[in-house]
Structure 1
């Protein structure tokens, strides 16, 4: 029987063998789909409710969203980038290159480095995503209309919400647990400006 390793905050990084019984199905899916169980899944496995919610949300998006797989990954990488989650930005960059998402290097680099996309529709998608994230979904009708005018549907607008929800689960869990970046993804964190900003700095106190 293998034993899990632990993060510096003592969260177990489970394998498919050590995970709670209710977490085993998604853990096996990760191993079979990607040839590995990412540390993120290993951390989430400690909470079968969280791992299953995250896994099912991602699979539901790929099966049922109006957004394409490329667009789903652009949305989620944009959220992770805005949340300064180096783990998820690296992971979505690595997995984005796989057939399941099929992103181009141009698309991934545009997100990672805050650059315009070659495709104006992708710019509109990122803008709408960040509007949803930063304003908690609040927006002017004209802003929603701009998203629709760019070629998206109202279903796609709600799919963005599902993508944001998925990244709230993973980004926040990574910050709580301090999930170590998988060795395979580590090189993809090298040029991220928030590489060493995984823990928020305490606010300074001004002496009176």
Structure 2
């Protein structure tokens, strides 16, 4: 049972109902995350705008985005997001073992490892990333723009993780355990 009630299309304000209807139409379902986030229309609209802008302007692959999402969700202890992003990662071509490793901040490809190292250091240090980490990421061919993009993904994912950790909605995807 969620600690904060989930909004439905029927129980949301008219503006919220329109947004939730659009999400349901796009995804074929209304994930509980969005139903919880709909308790505050500004947070719902802000999240959607940030997410859309990040995806539209991303130079990272969808698989890399999902690996970052998995690492951050696992680090933030968000069971809901680990489960949801494992499903999204699979759709992006990330196999189950790669997804489990990403949760732990590990990747087989050196470039992907550099991104996960950066993302987790951003989270752990609240953005006070070391010069060595920045140099390492640049040495793997990532630009300043891509470094800032990783920070954006960390922020966006942390926001959704924290919302889910506060609300604790029922997981409406195949449940995937958090990795230790």
Partners of 1:49 and 1:164 in 2: how far apart? 20
Partners of 2:111 and 2:179 in 1: how far apart? 26
**Which residue in the other structure is 1:18 paired with?**
11
Partners of 2:174 and 2:51 in 1: how far apart? 20
Distance change in 2, residues 1:193/1:125 (3 Å): closer
Structure 1 residues 139-182: Cα deviation after superposition (integer angstroms, max 9, x where no partner): 23232011111121111111111111112221111121122211
Q: Secondary structure at the match of 1:60?
A: helix
**Which residue in the other structure is 1:202 paired with?**
none
Distance change in 2, residues 1:116/1:46 (3 Å): closer
- The answer to whether structure 1 residue 34 and structure 2 residue 27 are counterparts is yes
Conservation of the 8 A alpha-carbon contact between 1:26 and 1:55: no
What TM-score does the superposition give when structure 2 sets the normalisation length?
Answer: 0.89
Unaligned runs of 5+ in 2: none
Distance change in 2, residues 1:64/1:24 (3 Å): farther
**Which residue in the other structure is 1:201 paired with?**
none
Once the two structures are TM-superposed, the CA of residue 25 in structure 1 deviates from its matched residue by: 4.2
Once the two structures are TM-superposed, the CA of residue 22 in structure 1 deviates from its matched residue by: 2.9
> Based on CA coordinates, which of the two structures has the bigger radius of gyration?
1
**Which residue in the other structure is 1:103 paired with?**
94
- The answer to whether structure 1 residue 73 and structure 2 residue 66 are counterparts is yes
Q: Secondary structure at the match of 1:137?
A: coil
> What are the within-5 Å matches in structure 2 for residues 119-138 of structure 1?
119-138=109-128
Q: Secondary structure at the match of 1:13?
A: coil
Distance change in 2, residues 1:102/1:29 (3 Å): farther
Paired residues, number: 180
Instruction: Please report the RMSD computed on the Cα atoms of aligned residues, expressed in angstroms.
Output: 2.0
What TM-score does the superposition give when structure 1 sets the normalisation length?
Answer: 0.78
- The answer to whether structure 1 residue 84 and structure 2 residue 84 are counterparts is no
Structure 1 residues 4-43: Cα deviation after superposition (integer angstroms, max 9, x where no partner): xx62x2x221223332233234423321222111100000
Unaligned runs of 5+ in 1: 1-5, 195-208
